[in-house]
Structure 1
Amino acid sequence: MAVRIRLARRGRKKQPFYRIVVADSEAPRDGKFLDIVGTYDPMQDPAVVTIDNEKLTNWIQKGAKPTETVESLIKKHGAAAAA
């Protein structure tokens, strides 16, 4: 089972809100996930990113790979676990 750290969309039409989740790579985008690591709200100015660094570090150490989008959010947020 390949585990990815990726975005799961929430919110309404034209008002997206994303959870940063740890999920099996074959699970649907908004489907079953293992853990919530943070959130991303692109509708705020500037966009708001909240990440639980402890959970993120733990999942990366276990072998979870972030997607390109999540990786860029981690770098912009300044999370210590960006690996």
Structure 2
Amino acid sequence: MSVSIRMSRIGANKKASFRIVVSATRSKCGGAQLDTLGHYRPDGEPREAVIDLVRTREWIKKGAIVSPTVQRIVKAAEAAVKDGGDAAKARVAFASAKTKKTHKDRLAAKKKKD
């Protein structure tokens, strides 16, 4: 039986929240879970993920397949741990959409340039 580390959606309508879980590859997304490794909240400011890297590494050593999105979270969490974080509860904050330049900012910068 192959297992995968992926995200399982929880939360109300239009207020998504995800658990990072280990489940059988053939089971449905909301189905039975073997282990819960952390959570991801995309609607917060900033977007935040908490993951247990110790247990995640154990599952990867056992041959678990990691989804691309969880792979990105694990990579960011490992970078946070290198900076002095705790591997048992690695906390990652992602840049929010509000920090990106707005259309007005880009137009103002273009006018200054000309």
The TM-score normalised by the length of structure 1 is 0.89
Q: What is the percentage of aligned positions where both structures have the same residue? A: 36
Corresponding residue of 1:44? 44
Does the CA contact (< 8 Å) of 2:41 and 2:48 recur in 1? Answer: yes
Gaps of 5+ in 2: 82-114
Within 2, Cα distance between the matches of 1:51 and 1:31? Answer: 20
Letter in 1 for 2:17: F
User: Structure 1 or 2: larger strand share?
Assistant: 1
Letter in 2 for 1:25: T
**Partner deviation per Cα, 1:1-42 (whole Å, 9 max, x = no partner):** 111000000000000010000000110101101000110000
Within 1, Cα distance between the matches of 2:39 and 2:31? Answer: 16
Letter in 2 for 1:40: Y
Larger gyration radius, structure 1 or structure 2: 2
Letter in 2 for 1:78: E
Q: Tell me which of the two structures has the higher relative contact order, counting C-alpha pairs closer than 8 angstroms and 6 or more residues apart.
A: 1
Query: Size of the alignment, in residue pairs?
Result: 81
CA RMSD in angstroms comes to 1.6
Within 2, Cα distance between the matches of 1:64 and 1:70? Answer: 12
Deviation at 1:75, TM superposition (A): 1.5
Letter in 1 for 2:27: A
Corresponding residue of 1:22? 22
Gaps of 5+ in 1: none
User: Structure 1 or 2: larger helix share?
Assistant: 2
| Moved segments of 4+, more than 3 Å | none
The TM-score normalised by the length of structure 2 is 0.66
